[in-house]
């Protein structure tokens, strides 16, 4: 595992009903075409997608690039993932973050695939296991 751990930033408190809202927002993006540098429903890249979803659900502005988003939140291990965590990959074998997605739970995440557009994928697939860099949690621990 190549998890390079940037410093933690303050966690955000999730609004009431955020998980249902997350599913609604994700569903509204599914099928959007991929467009490098795109940031709209006419075409979107991976970091603009996570930026848009986080803004709609949590009213938080993430940086624009996947590498800059990797500086947000706090590091979390693959075994501790929760819905809302950002997932980071090196899909180009460059030794750095080149792709980001958003974990939805049950081994599933949403991302903007350059070949399929916005889609859900299984984190356990060999491709994503090989490209894994790390995960970051934006959300504060839930209060009981």
Question: Considering 111, 123, 135, 139, which one is annotated as catalytic?
Answer: 111
142: nearest Cα among 30, 4, 13: 13
With vertex at residue 139, the alpha carbon angle to CA 137 and CA 140, rounded to the nearest 5 degrees, is 115
Is there a catalytic annotation at residue 99?
Answer: yes
Residues 32 and 101: their CA atoms lie apart, in Å, by: 15
Asked whether 119 and 55 are in contact (CB, 8 A), the reply is no
For 17, what's the count of Cα atoms within 13 Å in the CB-facing half-sphere?
4
Is there a catalytic annotation at residue 111?
Answer: yes
Question: Considering 34, 81, 87, 99, which one is annotated as catalytic?
Answer: 99
Question: Considering 12, 25, 46, 100, which one is annotated as catalytic?
Answer: 46
Q: How far is CA 99 from CA 36, 114, 125, in A?
A: 12, 10, 15
Asked whether 124 and 132 are in contact (CB, 8 A), the reply is no
Is there a catalytic annotation at residue 46?
Answer: yes
63: its two tokens: 């940086």
**What are the residue numbers of the active site?**
46, 99, 111
């Amino acid at each position: 595992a190549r998890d390079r751990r940037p410093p933690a930033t303050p966690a955000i408190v999730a609004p009431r009903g955020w998980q249902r809202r997350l599913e609604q927002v994700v569903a509204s993006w599914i099928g959007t075409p991929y467009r490098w540098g795109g940031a709209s429903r006419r075409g979107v890249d991976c970091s603009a997608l996570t930026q848009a979803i986080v803004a709609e659900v949590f009213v938080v502005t993430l940086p624009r690039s996947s590498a800059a988003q990797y500086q947000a939140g706090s590091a979390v291990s693959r075994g501790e993932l929760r819905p809302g965590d950002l997932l980071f990959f090196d899909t180009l074998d460059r030794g750095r973050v080149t792709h980001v997605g958003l974990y939805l739970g049950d081994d599933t995440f949403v991302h903007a695939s350059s070949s399929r557009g916005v889609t859900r994928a299984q984190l356990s697939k060999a491709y994503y296991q090989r490209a894994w860099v790390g995960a970051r949690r934006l959300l504060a621990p839930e209060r009981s």
